[in-house]
Amino acid sequence: MQSVLIVIHLLVVIALVVAVLLQRSEGGVLGTGGGGGFMTGRGQANALSRATAILATLFFVTALAMSIIASWGRAPKSLINAAPTTTNAPASPQQQQSPSSLLDQLKQLQNQSGGAPSAPAAPAQDAPK
């Protein structure tokens, strides 16, 4: 059903593009002014305007139908009631995993060295004369 609707939607899109491109330009913004085309009559312009409106309506209807069909299989989910499935806490210190980030590696080195890391010595400054 969804594949058929997609094909219909694509055909409507192509027809809509063609109908828009066939219409006569009335703006004259770029200096062309529309000129003479093979569909310059007043009756053809009304027919193309009506066809464009119908194709635009079909475009919106098929787009809405596709979004409704796509959402049928989705079930609402609650983030509040979701329970975690696994825990990441190690059972004992021997089973600790290797550190994954640079910060974890630095903390592990600090714990192995037995204390706080020493700050680098500040450069000696000359006393004012």
CB proximity list for 12: less than 8 A, separation 6 or greater: 55, 58, 59, 62
Report d(CA 98, CA 23) in Å as an integer. 68
Q: Note the pLDDT tens digit of each residue in 72-121.
A: 877 777 777 766 666 665 555 555 555 577 788 788 888 887 765 555 55
Whole domain around residue 56: which residue ranges?
2-24+41-71
**Residue 84: inside a domain, yes or no?**
no
**Residue 83: inside a domain, yes or no?**
no
* pTM assigned to the model: 0.48
Higher pLDDT, 128 or 100: 100
User: CB-based burial of residue 12 (10 Å sphere; 0-12 exposed, 13-18 middle, 19+ buried)?
Assistant: buried
How many domains, in total, are found in the chain? Answer: 1
**Residue 30: inside a domain, yes or no?**
no
